[in-house]
Amino acid sequence: MKIFNPLQTVTSLSRNEPKKIGLSPGSLVHVGEQKVERPIFSFIDYTSEEFQLAKDVPFAECLRLKDKASVSWINLDGVHDPSQVEAFGKAFDLHPLALEDILNTGHPPKLEEYDNCVLIITKLFFFDQQTCQIQAEQISLVLTVSNVLTFQEQPGDIFDELRERLKRKSGRIRQRGADYLAYTMIDSVVDSYFHVLEKIGDRLDQLENELISQPSQELLQQIHQMKSQLIFLRKSIWPMREVAAKMLQNESELFDESTTVFLRDLYDHAVQVLDTVESFRETASGLVDLYMSSVSQRMNEVMRVLTVMASIFIPLTFIAGIYGMNFELMPELKWRYGYPMVWGLMVLCAMGLLWFFKRKKWF
């Protein structure tokens, strides 16, 4: 279970401190926050018949898996130490530009093909229901002939079910190569987006219900906050669709032809996620319009009441104004029933106007 800082917002996620200007290409500088005390290595090594899992092991123990015929999944939690990532890259002959992208945790999703490997950068999202904030983590994946190397910012991820599938030998995953394992990881990341979007959809429904019952300035601020988060989500998921498309069109020998049909399904899921994000953005914009309509409707109701009250008191004020004049020769001034007659006239006018407004359905 990941523990997030509740003060971390989508704004901070999209504004990491940039690298220094003038560094040579491939310079290894960590960009982002340190989220773990020390780097932690773990691995899974398997064939169709054998399975081995090890957590928090020395890096030297991972090196022996490099040239094995089995499929190896080596994971590093914590990419804040450039020297550790550099040693990892040298041991597995990774390109310096690939290592540079791995260390930049603010990098958008991408797929880059090198001579001996394929680098895939993805974003993992979580929706904090306490703060109603979207929080992100970068997962970088390197595919080689028989190895899948993953680099995560901190321990804990969405791959527990995948590890269980590998352990209990369920499905086709133990029968296939490293490319299928890489596809399964990317597919798990894309599938996790649907869970985040489900929670966002619930939050939008809640905001809509609150708007209808009691619109307020605070709700409008929450809607604008949700819109900004959806914009951030779209900016991160749009490149994921391009990653899925490149994986489908990739002619690298690292991807087996039998994996192509699964990559098409991955691309379809990425398109569906992006369409859902676009739909939610339109919904959030509609909530702003709903807020303006609700406020306008409430203002119209208030103005209607005030107009009715003013319309009733206008003739009463007129009558009171006439008999409030200080002319000496006013015949009703000394009439015995003048006072009750004026009151009766006022009440009759008020009741007549109320009946007329009610008949016209003005209130």
Residue 15 has pLDDT above 60, yes or no: no
Question: Residue 273, exposed/middle/buried by CB under 10 A (0-12, 13-18, 19+)?
Answer: buried
Model confidence over 123-181: pLDDT tens digits?
Answer: 999 888 778 788 889 999 999 988 999 999 988 788 989 998 888 877 788 888 899 99
In angstroms, the CA 58 to CA 42 distance is: 8
Res 9: pLDDT: 41
Three-class secondary structure of residue 299 per DSSP: helix
Same CATH topology for 10-14+27-294 and 300-359? Answer: no
Question: Who has greater pLDDT, 23 or 295?
Answer: 295
Contact between residue 254 and residue 117 where contact means Cβ atoms under 8 Å apart: yes
Instruction: State the average pLDDT over residues 307-321.
Output: 85
CATH of 10-14+27-294 among 3.30.460.20, 3.40.30.10, 3.30.230.70, 3.40.50.720: 3.30.460.20
Mean pLDDT for the chain overall? 84
Rg, the chain, Cα only: 34
Backbone angles phi, psi at 135, to 5 degrees: -120, 145
> Residue 13: which pLDDT band, with cuts at 50, 70 and 90?
very low
Is the domain spanning 300-359 CATH 1.20.58.340? The answer is yes
CB under 8 Å to 228, separation ≥6 — which residues? 10, 11
User: And the tokens for 134?
Assistant: 């979207």
Instruction: State the average pLDDT over residues 341-345.
Output: 85
Element counts in the chain: helices (H) and strands (E): 9, 7
Model confidence over 208-234: pLDDT tens digits?
Answer: 888 888 878 888 888 888 888 898 888
Strands of the 110-113 sheet, one edge to the other: 51-57, 40-46, 71-77, 147-152, 133-143, 118-128, 110-113
Question: Who has greater pLDDT, 300 or 243?
Answer: 243
CA dist 82 → 51, 103, 142 (Å): 31, 7, 17
Res 315: pLDDT: 86
Res 8: pLDDT: 41
Model confidence over 61-74: pLDDT tens digits?
Answer: 888 888 888 899 99
> Residue 22: which pLDDT band, with cuts at 50, 70 and 90?
low
In angstroms, the CA 250 to CA 252 distance is: 6
Instruction: State the average pLDDT over residues 292-301.
Output: 79
Res 17: pLDDT: 60
Residue 355 has pLDDT above 70, yes or no: yes
Res 287: pLDDT: 87
> Residue 19: which pLDDT band, with cuts at 50, 70 and 90?
low
In angstroms, the CA 132 to CA 223 distance is: 11
Model confidence over 266-279: pLDDT tens digits?
Answer: 999 999 999 999 99
In 3D space, the residue among 24, 233, 256, 258 whose CA is nearest the CA of residue 118 turns out to be: 256
Instruction: State the average pLDDT over residues 257-263.
Output: 85
In 3D space, the residue among 220, 203, 211 whose CA is nearest the CA of residue 280 turns out to be: 203
User: And the tokens for 67?
Assistant: 């040239």
Tell me the domain boundaries of the chain: 10-14+27-294, 300-359
Question: Residue 284, exposed/middle/buried by CB under 10 A (0-12, 13-18, 19+)?
Answer: buried
Residue 307 has pLDDT above 90, yes or no: no
Residue 256 has pLDDT above 90, yes or no: no
Res 152: pLDDT: 92
Model confidence over 24-50: pLDDT tens digits?
Answer: 666 788 888 888 888 999 999 998 888
